[in-house]
Amino acid sequence: MGEPKPHPLRVLVVEDEALIALELECLLDDLGYVIVGIAGSSQEAIALGRETHPDVALVDIHLVDGPTGVAVAEALSADPRTTVVFMTANAKRIPEDFAGAVGVIAKPYSERVVAGALRYVAACRAGHVGSLDGLDGFCLAARHAERMHH
């Protein structure tokens, strides 16, 4: 039978553009991840995060209520059970400390980069060193990049 499969990551999608959210939901489903919810506003995202305790939150910076993704990242990353990854075309809006997020996936993203970034997060969560080989659309926050090189 082989080794038992690890539990799939439970993912919260924080994205206000319905088509992008739907596309991402289909991609995550195809990759074998469990979607715990989709939120389009900061209030909805924080409430869903507190309710579902996702393993990973993919957070856009610009939501229905403005550039509030940074506040969402700060709130969700305060829970040690949740790893936050930004997904944005506007990386300049991310503060230096990344608001607690481990990194950013640049939009427009490719399926390969999303899959690779989530593999990296899953490896780190399991206590392994994740590989960033070939993931040119995924940038780590400085504190995580330092950890990899020391």
SS (H, E, C) 35-82: EEEEECCHHHHHHHHHHHCCCEEEECCCECCECCHHHHHHHHHCCCCC
What's the CA gap between 45 and 16, in Å, rounded?
A: 10
Cis ω for the linkage preceding 108 (within 30 of 0): yes
Assign 47 a pLDDT band (cuts: 50, 70, 90): very high
pLDDT given for residue 132 in this prediction: 79
In a domain, 2, yes or no: no
Which CATH number do you get for residue 68? 3.40.50.2300
Residue 88 CB-density burial (10 A; 0-12 exposed, 13-18 middle, 19+ buried): buried
Closest CA to 58 of 126, 104, 107, 112: 104
In a domain, 3, yes or no: no
Q: How many residues does the chain have?
A: 150
> How many domains does the chain fold into?
1
pTM given for the model: 0.91
Structure token pair of residue 90: 């506007």
Mean pLDDT for the stretch of residues 25-34: 97
In a domain, 17, yes or no: yes
What's the CA gap between 108 and 2, in Å, rounded?
A: 37
For residue 150, pLDDT beyond 60: no
Contact 55, 82 (CB under 8 A): yes
Q: Give the DSSP letter of residue 16.
A: S
Assign 4 a pLDDT band (cuts: 50, 70, 90): very low
Assign 141 a pLDDT band (cuts: 50, 70, 90): confident
Helix (H) or strand (E) holding 20: helix 18-30
pLDDT in tens, 64-103: 999 999 999 999 999 999 999 999 998 888 999 999 999 9
In a domain, 22, yes or no: yes
pLDDT given for residue 147 in this prediction: 52
In a domain, 134, yes or no: yes
Assign 43 a pLDDT band (cuts: 50, 70, 90): very high
For residue 149, pLDDT beyond 70: no
Contact 125, 55 (CB under 8 A): yes
Residue 30 CB neighbour total at 10 angstroms: 10
The range of the structural domain enclosing residue 43 comes to 10-91+98-149
pLDDT given for residue 145 in this prediction: 66
